[in-house]
Structure formats: structure tokens, C-alpha cells
Structure 1
Amino acid sequence: MTLPSLPTCYCTNVHPGRSVAEVLDGLEQFTVPVRDRLAAAGAGPLAAGLWFAAPVAEALSAEEGGPARIAQFLAAHDLTCYTLNAFPYGDFHRDAVKADVYRPDWTEEVRRSYTLRCATLLAALLPEGREGSVSTLPLGSALNGELPADFEARCVENLLTLARDLDELHDRTGRVIRLAIEPEPFCVLETTAQTIAFFDRLRTAADEAGCGPAVRTHLGVCYDVCHQAVEFESAAEVVAALETADVRINKVQLSCAVELPDPRDAAAREALVRYAEPRYLHQTFAANRSGDGWTVRGRAADIEPQFADAAPPEFLDAEVWRTHFHVPISRTDLGPLNTTRPELTAALAAVARLPYAPHLEVETYTWPVLPGATPTREEQIVGIAAELLAAAEIAAALDGSDDGPA
């Protein structure tokens, strides 16, 4: 059982990056010191999973030598980049993001053009001989009522165009860039079954349009372990189902959700709603054990502090709750709460059996909004490094190695 040998990677969407200057400052102030801590711990090199907000991607593309400026910074600081996060389009750090993170959706041409711009930038940053991945939203949100009748058709049209674009990018640059569509609770694609069914329809449309090979090469899935754990999907079953359906996992986001192990415990419920902060959505599911798996009893698109005392009956009658809040993967318990770290270990074990190597990226963007005092810069650096070391330790254990982080 062997996991990919690429450098350890974390997603820089945890740092504000509303301008090129802010992107470079985030790398200087956080990523370089994280690299230094990993080196001091005997770990290997570090990769930055970059996030370029739309204004940043546009500025870098328009600036003569813009991509080279980023590439030169990475090289000068012994960093590399093989994946981008193109899910958040705009300001991911404003006071309230919530469902705006799903805008623009895949029915809109601006989403396709932004994603292609990111892919083109990544092609200029990739180390020689590497393939790249770009993660994106699961078509759109399902929170605003019934979708237009032509919603999926418009998404498919833009995705087919992007597949052709990525094929042309490969012909022009020699770089393979793969799109990774990321299922998420309360989105158009949220479960693995929905995702597989969509890819069946997408491929049929691609074959009819004469771009089947481009779609099969360049379009796949981003498996965010937190998201599917919140859905109470088994990690092993997620990976096996995608492999059976021949849907390629182009990227795995290493992430853990918050778990409430006993909803009858009022103090534990109070601890859970401390994570109900106003910036991001915190989709919450309740489930009961069913044989070797789970049966979902309740779903909430978001929670607020009053949810501790005013949860619907189906939540209070359930055995376990899980909440979409990316908690640091190095933390194995949260007082009266748990994390879904066992699902992360199971996911990495399943991914290690694949005949190819998805990109692995730690994505804990929530450091600035964790309950309690906002972490200092130094605390955040220490925390991110601890997460990357934890990921390496899990990987080493699965590989049967006693050598520690690699």
C-alpha cells in the first residue's frame, strides 16, 4: 500500500489573497515558515496548494511575466505547486461568505473562463513532468429552491467547452491539467451516487459532442473527506464506487468534520454550536447506526447558536451529528466532541489502493474562525505544520514504514 510521493501540500485559501501582493505576502508570512518547521521536523519538501481569487487570476494573466513572478518566488523559497483551488471565486475572507461561495455557478461562462485562467496559470507553475489539478464547486448550490429546467444542460455545455480548452492547453504546453469537481452537502452534487450519475450523463453528452476522450482525460472529482463524512458516507465505499464507475479522483482534500457523539448531552451541543460562526456555511447531518453503516435522520443547511436548544426532533432522536467545519486534522478530539479523523485514515487507505495517484491537499481554511481567540500568526504556522506532519504520519503508518514523516 503506497501513497503518492508528491511533496506535502496545504491549501493557501486559509490566507487572505485578494491581490497578487496579498498572495505573495501569505506565502512569505505563513508558507515559508511552515516549510521551515517541516524541515526542522525532518519532513520532506512542501507544496503550496494555491488559491487565486478571480481578480488575482486576472491580474496575473494580464501582467507580462505574471506567472513567472509566482514561479520564481516558489523556486527561490524551495516551494512547489501542482494544484490550485478554484472553488472560491471572490473574496473568501469577507465577514459573511456563506452560500455566495457557490457563485458564479457552472451555468455561467464566467465560471468556465475563470477556471481556464487558473488552469493556464498552473501550467506555467508546474514542475517538469508533473500533472496539475484544479478543484471547483459541485455545479452550484441546491439551497435556493428549484433549479431552472436547463441548469444541468448549461453546466454540461460549459464543462465540455472547458474539457476542449484543457485538451488544447495540453497540446500547447505539454502540461496535463485535470479539473476536480468537489461534491458538498446541499449542493447540486452532494452524494457520491449523485456524482457518478452526473458523470454518466456528462460522458454521454461528451461522446455525442465528439469530445469524449477530452472529458475522460481532464474531468474528474475532488474528494473532500470532510464533506462526505458529514453525509455519513463510508470513505472506503466512496473511493470504491468512484473507481468502479471509472470516475477519476483527481484530488483528495484531507479534512475532518466536527462530530457530536451524543446529541442528548446538552453541554456537548453547546460545544458544537461554538463552531456556528457567521462567515461560512456549517451544514449539519444527524444519523443513526444501521448495520455496518448509517441512516441519515436529519439535515440542516446551516446552524446557529440556538440550534443547541432548538434542534428539530429528528436531530435530538439521532445517535450522532456531524457538522461541516474543517477542524485541524492534527486534533483527534475536541473536549466533548470528536472529529471524523477515522474517516480520513480510511480515505487515505482506500486511495493508496488506487492504480493512480490523486493529489493530496490539507484544506483547513477555518483557522481564522476557530472557536476562541483568533490564532496568532505563530500559532497558525505551528498549527498548519502540525497538520502536515499528521498527514505524513498517517501515510507512513499505512505504508508500513517506521521512519516517520517522509
Structure 2
Amino acid sequence: MRFRHRDGSTVHVGYCATVHPADDLDGVIADLDGCARRVRVELDVPVLGIGLWLASPVADRLANSPSSLNKLRRSLTRNHLEVVTLNGIPHAHFTDQVVGTKVFCPDWTEPERLRYTLDLVDVLAELLPADASYGSISTLPLAWRVPWSKARDAAARKALDGVEQHLARTETRTGRRIRIAVEPEPGCVLEMIGQAAAWLSRYSSPNVGTSRIGLGLDTCHLAVQFEEPADAFETLWRAGVDVVKGQLAVAPTLVDPSDAAGRYALGQLGTPKYLRQVREWGGPGVDDVAQAYELSGHSAWRMHAHVPAHTAPPPPLSATTLALEDCLTRLVGGGHPLTHHLESEVYAWPRPPKTKQQLAKRIAKELRWLRDRLTGLGLQAID
């Protein structure tokens, strides 16, 4: 979907394809022809944005095979889909039975991460619509927090400096501006907005919205950490760090962890396939809900599971919908948008969909909710 902001610029809105991951090109195209097409039809919009996830072998193939790239482009065209952003966090094996911390491997200290990201830059430069002001690629917040050292930090810095140089060359060669969105996540080297802002300040630009490397603001991750949107945006502004992309979902909250029924309901959300980090307000956290018994239980818990905003989680759980709405207002509700890329990333449904058709309907409902909030902020849907 596309929206016209009051300043005349275009805000692109779509959903993240990691909700139906495919690890080969034929699988990616099958999901575009199936699920993504159904979502667009359900919404009845002329064009729908989709944030593709391309496993490393697929990205390598597309970056080096014009015929493969044209095959993907034809699928996007016939289904009236556009790609302005890619999810470059999972490198491969995202369809494994258990992903866990493997999603952060290889990390930014390893050459495979750099090669993968450069392939994604080259692919997105080819897929990006001609009238899009820029393309964005989400990437991981350096690495899982252990092991980490000054030497590893320096290696990560060198790699991302190399990416910045490649982005500049790509813009000169193709005229397309691609930007990297580093996405803080609980448990990683950069898990809080303040940490990310300090690390990314090196890439700040005197002109807002022009830095090649900035932040990917995930509203679920921010809420899990009990970070206040007002404080987060103030920190980013002071550091001069751009929000390249907004990743949108809410996190489940258990206000009273002593409630056995609530702890059970929390554990049923999402899947053990992915990390479900839990944070306790004012206290520590654990890397998975299965370890939540280690927490004191004296204050509210929030869990890393991207749940929808359009429907409430099962009681007695609540959701961080107000934090999401606050972030949306700050991102696009002002005189100028802080980002032009908004992407829904929901995968932890209260009742898991059994078919791709059911999944498409759920995604469409979430995007309708988002559309209503954006029009309420004064944005105008573009027909």
C-alpha cells in the first residue's frame, strides 16, 4: 500500500514475508503467487508492498543471474506487488525446525554476513520501483551478545563501513539509494535504543533522512524492553540517527506473573522454533519463556512474540498496542515522516492459521488496522 503524507512524500506500507519463509526461489515465487496475491485482493489495493526474505543462496543467485531476477520480477508484476525493503536478518536455515540463536549467524564479524548483505543491496537496487525515494534492508544488531569483545566490535565496524562504501558506489552506478536498517533486539549486542544510537551515531548525516546506515525501529522489540517511545525518539534525535524503517507489531504482556493461567497463556503464544525472550519490568530478563521461572514475578512480564494489534491476545494477557500507536504517531504523524517504510511483521497469532488462505486473511486484517491508524494520522491512501 502507498500513502501520501501531508508533505507530499510517499510512505510505503507492506508486510514481512518471513511469516511464510521459503528457502529457494521457486518457493518465494509460489508464496507471491499464493499468499501475497490473496492479501492484496483481500485489501483491494492497486499495489501491495512485501518485504522479501531471500535466503543467502537465493540472494546470491539473484545477484548473479539476470534470468532468475527477471523470473522474480515477473511474479511481482503479475501480482501487483512492490519491493522497497528486504529482511536481511536471517541468513539461511530460517525454515529449520528450531532456529533459536542461529538467526544471528553468521554475525557481523564474519565475512559471510557481509557477502550476503552486499548481494541483497545489488538485488534491491534492481527490484526497487523507479519512483521509490530509497530502498531499505533490515540487518541484525551486530550479533548475539555472547561472545563479544573489542576485537569483534572492531571487525563488525569494519564490515559495516565496507557496506556504507558499497552503498555509495551502488547509488553512483544505478542512481538507486539503498539504506541499511540495524534492528535492536533483546539479547543482542545492541538490544536497547540507547546502545544502538551510540553505535550508529558514526553514520549520522547533517541532513535528516539521508544517512546510508541507520536504525530499524521494531515496535515489538522496543516494547519488550519496556522502553518508552518518547525517550527512544529523543535519544535517536540527539545522536543524529535516522529511522530507516519501522517494523510493526505488538508484544504480549502479563501484568501479574503470579497468575498460573497467565503464564500458561504466555507460553502458548508463538513457537519454540524462535527465541521468545522475556523481560520483567524494572528487573532482569531471560532468553526464552521456558526460563521465566528464574524471574521474580513481582512485576509485569513482556515476551518477544510479534502478535497482531487488530485483535487482543487471550486473557489475562494484554498487548503493547498503545506503544505501537505512539511510535506510528512519531514516525509519520508530524510535518515530515521520519521514515518512508512501514512494515507489518506479525507471526504469533492467538490461533495459528492452518492454511495459506487463512494466513492471508489474518495479514489483511492487520494491514486494515494499520491503514485505519495511518489515515487517522492524516495520511491519504493512494489509489
Query: Match of 2:81, as an amino acid?
Result: L
- Which residue does 2:266 correspond to in 1? 272
Structure 1: state its 5+ residue gaps: 288-295
- Which residue does 2:216 correspond to in 1? 222
- Deviation for aligned residue 1:108: 1.1
Structure 2: state its 5+ residue gaps: none
Aligned runs of 1:353-368 on 2, under 5 Å? 353=334, 354=336, 356-366=338-348
Percent of counterpart pairs with the same letter?
Answer: 33
- Which residue does 1:90 correspond to in 2? 92
Query: Is 1:12 aligned to residue 17 of structure 2?
Result: yes
Query: Is 1:79 aligned to residue 81 of structure 2?
Result: yes
- Deviation for aligned residue 1:239: 2.1
Q: Secondary structure at the match of 1:48?
A: strand
Aligned runs of 1:99-178 on 2, under 5 Å? 99-130=101-132, 131-142=134-145, 144=146, 146-178=147-179
Aligned runs of 1:176-195 on 2, under 5 Å? 176-195=177-196
Separation of aligned partners in 2, 1:123 and 1:379: 33
Separation of aligned partners in 1, 2:338 and 2:13: 17
- Deviation for aligned residue 1:92: 1.2
Q: Is the 8 A contact 1:8 1:44 kept in 2?
A: no
Q: Is the 8 A contact 1:396 1:405 kept in 2?
A: no
**1:376 aligned to which of 344, 348, 355:** 355
Q: Secondary structure at the match of 2:200?
A: helix
- Deviation for aligned residue 1:151: 1.0
- Which residue does 1:386 correspond to in 2? 365
**1:67 aligned to which of 66, 69, 94:** 69
Aligned runs of 1:258-337 on 2, under 5 Å? 258-275=252-269, 277-287=271-281, 296-304=282-290, 307=292, 310-313=293-296, 316-318=297-299, 320-337=300-317
Separation of aligned partners in 2, 1:187 and 1:404: 36
- Deviation for aligned residue 1:51: 0.9
Query: Match of 2:285, as an amino acid?
Result: R
Q: Is the 8 A contact 2:10 2:340 kept in 1?
A: no
Q: Is the 8 A contact 2:276 2:304 kept in 1?
A: yes
- Deviation for aligned residue 1:277: 2.9
C-alpha distance 346-44 of structure 1, shift in aligned 2 (>3 A): farther
Q: Is the 8 A contact 2:276 2:289 kept in 1?
A: yes
Query: Match of 1:34, as an amino acid?
Result: V
What are the Cα deviations for residues 236-271 of structure 1, in whole angstroms up to 9, with x where unaligned? 322232123210100000111111122222211111
Q: Is the 8 A contact 1:225 1:347 kept in 2?
A: yes
- Deviation for aligned residue 1:374: 4.9
What are the Cα deviations for residues 299-357 of structure 1, in whole angstroms up to 9, with x where unaligned? 111122x74xx3432xx111x11000011232234221111111110000011225543
C-alpha distance 276-16 of structure 1, shift in aligned 2 (>3 A): closer
Query: Match of 2:250, as an amino acid?
Result: C
Query: Is 1:339 aligned to residue 319 of structure 2?
Result: yes
Q: Is the 8 A contact 2:40 2:48 kept in 1?
A: yes
What are the Cα deviations for residues 69-91 of structure 1, in whole angstroms up to 9, with x where unaligned? 22222122211110000001002
Q: State TM-score, norm by structure 1.
A: 0.86
Separation of aligned partners in 1, 2:244 and 2:322: 22
Q: Is the 8 A contact 2:137 2:179 kept in 1?
A: yes
112-121 or 234-243, larger mean C-alpha shift:
234-243
Q: Secondary structure at the match of 2:191?
A: coil
Q: Secondary structure at the match of 1:241?
A: helix
Q: Secondary structure at the match of 2:215?
A: strand
Query: Match of 2:226, as an amino acid?
Result: F
Query: Match of 1:163, as an amino acid?
Result: E
Separation of aligned partners in 2, 1:63 and 1:169: 18
- Deviation for aligned residue 1:365: 3.5
- Which residue does 2:36 correspond to in 1? 31
Q: Is the 8 A contact 2:139 2:180 kept in 1?
A: yes
Separation of aligned partners in 1, 2:57 and 2:311: 34
C-alpha distance 31-276 of structure 1, shift in aligned 2 (>3 A): closer
C-alpha distance 374-382 of structure 1, shift in aligned 2 (>3 A): closer
Separation of aligned partners in 1, 2:82 and 2:330: 26
356-365 or 120-129, larger mean C-alpha shift:
356-365
- Which residue does 1:239 correspond to in 2? 233
What are the Cα deviations for residues 121-172 of structure 1, in whole angstroms up to 9, with x where unaligned? 0110111131100000000001x3x423301100010001110001000011
C-alpha distance 372-255 of structure 1, shift in aligned 2 (>3 A): closer
Query: Match of 1:362, as an amino acid?
Result: S
Q: Secondary structure at the match of 1:326?
A: coil
Query: Match of 1:258, as an amino acid?
Result: P
Query: Match of 1:331, as an amino acid?
Result: T
Separation of aligned partners in 2, 1:390 and 1:373: 19
- Deviation for aligned residue 1:375: 2.5
- Which residue does 1:292 correspond to in 2? none
C-alpha RMSD of the superposition = 2.4
Separation of aligned partners in 2, 1:249 and 1:25: 32
Q: Is the 8 A contact 1:283 1:323 kept in 2?
A: yes
- Deviation for aligned residue 1:45: 2.7
Query: Match of 2:122, as an amino acid?
Result: T
